[in-house]
Structure 1
Amino acid sequence: MKNMSADRRMIKIAMAAPYLDREEEHDLAVRWKAHEDRSARNKIATAHMRLVISMAGKFRNFGLPMSDLVQEGYVGLLEAAARFEPEREVRFSTYASWWIRASIQDFILRNWSIVRGGTSSAQKALFFNLRRLRAKLARGDAHLTVRSIHQEIAAALGVSVNDVQTMDARLSSSDTSLQAPSIASDAESAERMDFLISDDPLPDEQVSNMIDGERRRVWLASALTHLNEREMKIIRARRLAEDGATLEELGADLGISKERVRQIESRAMEKLRSALVSADPRMAAYA
């Protein structure tokens, strides 16, 4: 009730503020621009608050509090007052309208959804005009399909049909908190997040596995230094290569029998196990 009363009082004050004629508006703007007379700037702003309220009312259907829209519009109004150049002989209301609308639209885009939409001029035009254009096309021809409506809107705003479809889907649904109670469970404390099942390890497990894996790679590299050249070649070809070589292939390459290759491989593996366990007894579980 207090907020409603404050809003009504603000609207009442704004509507009661006197209009400025062109000469008075120009004099106030010069005083602010040339001498930074804040009282002159505030008088200009107060006289145009009804413009802010009118502009904010055009965006009330986006579900945000009217008081917030007016407040953001007032920010745009002050920005316009700070940038206004009276020597251009343009009425302040004409100049300020763009700043007020831009400030309100930016606020809506930031707060309408937790998912940030596009910020390009085309995406903004799509966000703020999609519903109006869709309703207009539907009234003009009740037999238009959804696809046809999307194509018409895309052509009118200079965006792709896919952009129109994506934005239409966003505007047709609302954000849902993962901490909201789940209607799919009888448990009173169950939340939607509880049903997002993932087979991936938890973040702390992923970090632990990454650190352990790096340690094992260091230990293995150190253990490999205990092998001679022929043992190293056999272990790399048989155990570390993506496509392990056969005993016959290595025997032919080294000029020895496949049985001799097997014996050298077995001896090299024993050396590696011994070196790994010596580096850290916990590696016995992996060796």
Structure 2
Amino acid sequence: MTNEMQALAIAPLGNLDAYIRAANGCPMLSAEEEKALAERLHYQSDLDAAKKLILSHLRFVVHVARNYSGYGLPQADLIQEGNIGLMKAVRRFNPEVGVRLVSFAVHWIKAEIHEYVLRNWRIVKVATTKAQRKLFFNLRKTKQRLGWFNQDEVEMVARELGVSSKDVREMESRMSAQDMAFDLTSDDDNAEGKSLVPALYLQDKTSDFADGIEEDNWDSHAADKLTDAMMTLDERSQNIIRARWLDDDNKITLQELADQYGVSAERVRQLEKNAMKKLRVAIEA
């Protein structure tokens, strides 16, 4: 990975798709590689090891940030805040604890994103379109003269502004609404409506996030390794492996392959065995 791609991956500036491609292009670490790097950082303060740990986990930050896309905040900002949490986690990670870094880091990543959402998110979006903004500013001027509208006044304002009565009522309601508290205050612990506080339902606490994301990314990583390993085989060996192991819909027998290539079934078996050995070596490399 180039220095430019590394810089892009750490700070998602500019094209978000390019950033995500760069993050996904960072190689994942095996448990042994991760532990070795973590020990170098923990015991020797090796900054190069810290950089490798961070880059290999940027894809996890992207995955977490996507779960907060419903709050109308820029995805790049959510990812950047998550990256700050990842860096804090890497700095505090103890390789002797016996857990993978992703299981430890996910809590720091979420904490930074939660703090960003808390600072920037407002539940009531007063005017999000050009038409709504125009109605908002015109309605605000009219309300300064009339106060809270009755039905006749709603219809009069609707005629003046060229909108429906429903639009006027909806915008009036938005303008009069108060922000809902994002998090509980010290006085709210026993409040009757505490279940409505957004901070309490930002995430699904019933799922094991770390295990799920590790499994999803490992499957993707394994598929990529297999594809690269297959490219090391000659065309005939590739066809044999696909026909015998990878084609779920049309698996064929050794004899059918033997007839196809004009050799004995035993020769096909030997080719298959040799190809499998080469694949294992290539995947484990």
TM value normalised by structure 1 = 0.42
Task: Give the structure, 1 or 2, with the largest relative contact order (CA under 8 Å, sep 6 or more).
Answer: 2
Q: TM-score under structure 2 normalisation? A: 0.42
Which has the higher Rg, Structure 1 or Structure 2? 1
